[in-house]
Amino acid sequence: MKGFVIDLLKENVPPSYTYHDYHHTLYVMDKALEIAKHDNCTEEEMRLLDVAALWHDTGYINVYAGHEEEGCVLATKYLPQFGFNGNEIKIICGLIMATRVPQAPQTKLEEILADADLEYLGTKEVKEKSELLFRELKTIHPDLTREEWDRTQISFLKTHRFFTDYCKKHNEPVKHAYLESLLHALE
Residue 41 φ/ψ, nearest 5 degrees: -70, 150
Q: What is the DSSP-derived secondary structure letter of residue 124? A: T
Other beta carbons within 10 angstroms of residue 109's beta carbon come to 23
Element spanning 4, H or E: helix 2-12
Distance between CA 49 and CA 110 in Å, rounded?
8
Residues 13-24: pLDDT tens digits? 999 999 999 999
pTM as predicted = 0.96
Distance between CA 168 and CA 165 in Å, rounded?
5
Q: Label residue 187 by pLDDT band (50, 70, 90).
A: confident
Residue 19 φ/ψ, nearest 5 degrees: -105, -50
Residues 135-144: pLDDT tens digits? 999 999 999 9
Which among 3, 9, 91, 81 is positioned nearest to 47, based on CA atoms?
A: 91
Identity of residue 28: V
- pLDDT for the residue numbered 145: 97
Which among 39, 18, 40, 20 is positioned nearest to 28, based on CA atoms?
A: 20
Domains and CATH numbers, the chain: 2-186 (1.10.3210.10)
- pLDDT for the residue numbered 179: 97
